[in-house]
Amino acid sequence: MSVIIIGGGQAASEAAMLLRQAKFDGAIAIISDEAHLPYSRPPLSKAYLAGETHVDSLLLRNAAAYETANVVVRLGERVERIDRVAKRVELRNGDPLAYEQLILATGGRPRRMSIAGAELENIFYLRSIGDVDRLRASFMPGRQVVIVGGGYIGLEVAAVAVKAGLQVVVLEGAPRVLARVTSPQMSAFYERFHKAKGVDIRTGIAVSGFRAAADGVSVGAVECGGDLVLPADFVIVGIGLLPNVELALDAGLVVDNGILVDEASRTSDADIFAIGDCAAHREHGFLGRKVRLESVPNVNEQARVVAAAICGLPLPALSPPWFWSDQYDLKLQMVGLSEGYDLLVTRGDPATNSFITFYLKDGRLIAADAVSRLSEFMAARKMVAGRLEVDPAALADEATPLKSLIGRAAA
Ligand code: FAD
């Protein structure tokens, strides 16, 4: 048996190691077009950007760990084609490699802006170590950075930048930040918090072009539609991710905003799996609908699933999706998807910067967003996983431990 994993991110690394843990004893090769061993991306917009952590600490595992696990990691090599009939992949240098089972862990790339001036220098995107290294040289106190996009990455970068003494403007097209992922109340909390720290957040802004600085090659200003033009020493764009699906498409696999996979993470070819940011669950085991998730917990779950599927073990059940984001000292943790809620209950006072917002639908808990409530978040995850029917008043009452509600609902 031999497994080839295309991609060198967290999904690839976890899948390889979990295959070994599940006693897979065939050959495993990871083919990555990056220069670094698989690393953790979340710190890129947090501690690594802030210069608080060294590049080595980003690595998920060192070279010795792959050697010990007998996992071959081929860095700086790109798979150009999958030949499903011959069951082999072709590398950029023309080398063909045979597989018995293939895992696509190709991740995604930043969605780029395609407006006038988008090709100017000093407009940065943030996905890789190299992206942050290039960006860091511009990160100097007093300089003005315009961040396009008020999602997680835009806001995390804003927090680091304002702490580093830069003048920070965040431009968001939607009427509020984090609009895609949370409720208006939570968005309002984050907007207030950033503004109090000195970040200039402007919502409902459609960026229409970039103007060159006096040197004619770097960005100097951002056109925001109408007469509004904001000066910028540099720009960071965080407007979402495009899944890397081209290899799968060329190979004739079914793709729909991600490589479509079943509950075993199998694509439309029984010998090809897809996991992580590039994959879309045809019907997510917990949500019961099609979804493509971009988060480390999803990567880890899908890696466990694919290892079990390849080794013929029972598939682990999927839990509700969850995610975290660190901004300043605030630790945001979110579980479930809050879309479609009909009741919102807040536990704790947002003014203390430590609270949980629960989302219910038809009396049942569907999601929760916790701000700096680490231990209660654990209980919230269990409650959302059980879709518990809970008394909203008890949820809001801080004197009632969340754990006791789990027992009560089960009784
Ligand atoms: P990727 O990490 O994108 O890895 C895919 C790899 O495949 C890349 O190395 C790519 O170069 C390579 N590749 C692609 N095509 C080929 C090919 N043809 N041949 C060879 N190699 C190829 N998630 C959280 O849960 N919490 C957070 O706080 C958080 N913060 C984040 C902050 C940032 C700045 C970013 C960018 C992401 C963050 N995420 C966070 C998301 C999380 O990091 C991703 O969900 C996760 O890294 C996805 O891993 P992956 O292996 O699926 O994809």
Q: What is the per-residue pLDDT across 336-358, written as a single tens digit (0 to 9) for each? A: 999 899 999 999 999 999 999 99
The domain locations on the chain are 2-109+241-310, 123-237, 329-410
Q: Supply the DSSP symbol for 276.
A: G
- Ligand 1, atom nearest to 323 Cα: 25
| pLDDT tens readout for residues 170-180 | 999 999 999 99
Q: Indicate which residue's Cα is closest to atom 29 of ligand 1.
A: 42
With cut-offs at 50, 70 and 90, classify the pLDDT of residue 314: very high
- Number of neighbours of residue 54 by Cβ within 10 angstroms: 9
Tell me if 157 sits within 8 A of 238, measured CB to CB.
yes
Q: Is the CB of 247 under 6 A from ligand 1?
A: yes
Residue 93 pLDDT = 82
* Contact between 89 and 39 (Cβ < 8 Å): no
Going by alpha carbons, the residue nearest to atom 7 of ligand 1 is 7
With a cut of 60, say whether residue 258 has pLDDT above it: yes
Query: Does ligand 1 have an atom closer than 6 angstroms to the CB of 14?
Result: no
The residue to which tokens 């792959």 are assigned: 66
Coil, helix or strand for 139? coil
The finding on whether 323 has its CB within 6 A of some atom of ligand 1 is yes
| Domain 329-410 superfamily per CATH | FAD/NAD-linked reductase, C-terminal dimerisation domain (3.30.390.30)
Mean pLDDT of 66-91: 97
Q: Which CATH superfamily is domain 2-109+241-310 in?
A: FAD/NAD(P)-binding domain (3.50.50.60)
Helix (H) or strand (E) holding 278: none
In this predicted structure, what is the pLDDT of residue 298? Answer: 96
Question: pLDDT for 298-310, tens place per residue?
Answer: 999 999 999 999 9
Q: Is 78 in the pocket of ligand 1 (CB under 6 A)?
A: yes
State pTM to two decimals.
0.95
Q: How sure is the predictor about 408, in pLDDT bands with cuts at 50, 70 and 90?
A: low
Q: Is the CB of 106 within 6 Å of ligand 1?
A: yes
Compute the distance from residue 10 Cα to the ligand 1 centre, in Å: 7
CA of 294 to the centre of ligand 1 (A): 8
More confident site: 370 or 226 = 370
Number of Cβ atoms within 10 Å of the Cβ of 342: 10
Integer Cα distance of 134 and 122 in angstroms: 9
State yes or no: pLDDT of 166 exceeds 90: yes
Residues 313 and 382: their CA atoms lie apart, in Å, by 25
The residues, ordered by sequence, that sit 6+ positions from 331 with a Cβ below 8 Å of its Cβ are: 324, 371, 372, 374
CA atoms of 186 and 302, how far apart (whole Å): 29
Average pLDDT, the chain: 95
Exposed, middle or buried by CB within 10 Å (0-12, 13-18, 19+), for 303?
buried
| pLDDT interval class at 409 (50, 70, 90) | low
- Beta strands per DSSP E along 48-153: 71-74, 79-83, 88-91, 96-98, 101-104, 108-110, 123-125, 144-148
Nearest CA to ligand 1 atom 18: 79
Q: What residues does 104 pair with on adjacent strands?
A: 6, 274
19/13 Cα distance (integer angstroms): 10
- pLDDT for the residue numbered 58: 98
Encoded amino acid at 104, one letter: L
Q: What is the pLDDT of residue 318?
A: 82
Q: Note the pLDDT tens digit of each residue in 104-138.
A: 999 999 999 999 999 999 999 999 999 999 999 89
- pLDDT given for residue 317 in this prediction: 87
CA angle 13, 18, 20 (to 5 degrees): 105
What pLDDT, on a 0 to 100 scale, did the predictor assign at position 411?
A: 46
Cβ–ligand 1 contact at 296 (below 6 Å): yes
Residue ID of nearest Cα to ligand 1 atom 30? 42
Q: Is the distance from the beta carbon of residue 44 to the nearest atom of ligand 1 less than 6 Å?
A: yes
The ligand 1 atom nearest the CA atom of 294? 45
Beta bridge partners of 101: 3
Q: Do domains 2-109+241-310 and 329-410 have the same CATH topology?
A: no
Which of 4, 17, 106 should be mutated for ligand 1, with most atoms under 8 A from CB? Answer: 106
* Residue pLDDT, tens place only, 267-308: 999 999 999 999 999 999 889 899 999 999 999 999 999 999
Taking each helix axis from N to C end, the angle separating 402-410 and 374-385, rounded to the nearest 10 degrees, works out to: 20
Residue 225 has what pLDDT?
A: 86
CATH no., domain 123-237: 3.50.50.60
Q: What are phi and psi of 315, to 5 degrees?
A: -75, 135
Site to probe by mutation for ligand 1, drawn from 4, 39, 249, 277 as the one with most ligand atoms within 8 Å of Cβ, is: 277
Residue of the nearest CA to atom 19 in ligand 1?
78
Taking a C-beta distance cutoff of 8 angstroms, is the pair 105, 12 a contact? yes
